[in-house]
Amino acid sequence: MKTRFAVIVAIAMAAAGVGAIAPFSWPALSQSLDGAAEASQRPIGQLNPTLPIRIEVVNAGNTAITCVLTQPASAERQLAPGARTSFGTVTTSYLPLPINFLAYASNTQIGLSSDLTIEGNVVTIVIGEQRSQTPGDLAMNIDPDGYIYFY
């Protein structure tokens, strides 16, 4: 079907006196998308995978948020504005790797912003409301080697 359409277009262009045209492409767009995808796959830090891990979450916004570990599975935790919670402890080996963390606003029309810090084997995530009206979630993955990815 594509080939037939291309032939028809070529015949119409020749009849109209239009010369050959080079194929159209978006190299700048594809390069920027490739770069963005590659950047999102780079780790932002690393923990020691042989030591216990703790994830601390602080709700610094004005709306309730929900956070959960999807691996290892945990119950959802509701955080009111100003509240905090933690997953795991640095004194026991509670959180096995890999770890998948998810946070989202209870009001689905609100986006989230975040600030993530790593100190030793403690990851602290301070979550607030995003300044734009774009709704969205936050996700973090810690792979089996302790590398941290944040989306």
Break the chain into its structural domains and give their ranges.
48-150
CB atoms within 10 A of CB 123: 26
- Provide CATH code, domain 48-150: 2.60.40
Is a pLDDT exceeding 80 seen at residue 6? no
Q: What is the pTM of this model?
A: 0.71
Half-sphere exposure in the Cβ direction for 86 (13 Å, CA): 12
Strands 84-88 and 122-129 come out as unpaired
CB atoms within 10 A of CB 47: 21
Is a pLDDT exceeding 80 seen at residue 122? yes
Is a pLDDT exceeding 80 seen at residue 20? no
- pLDDT band of 134, cuts 50, 70, 90: confident
Whole-angstrom distance, CA of residue 73 vs CA of residue 99: 9
pLDDT the model gives residue 29: 46
Whole-angstrom distance, CA of residue 54 vs CA of residue 92: 10
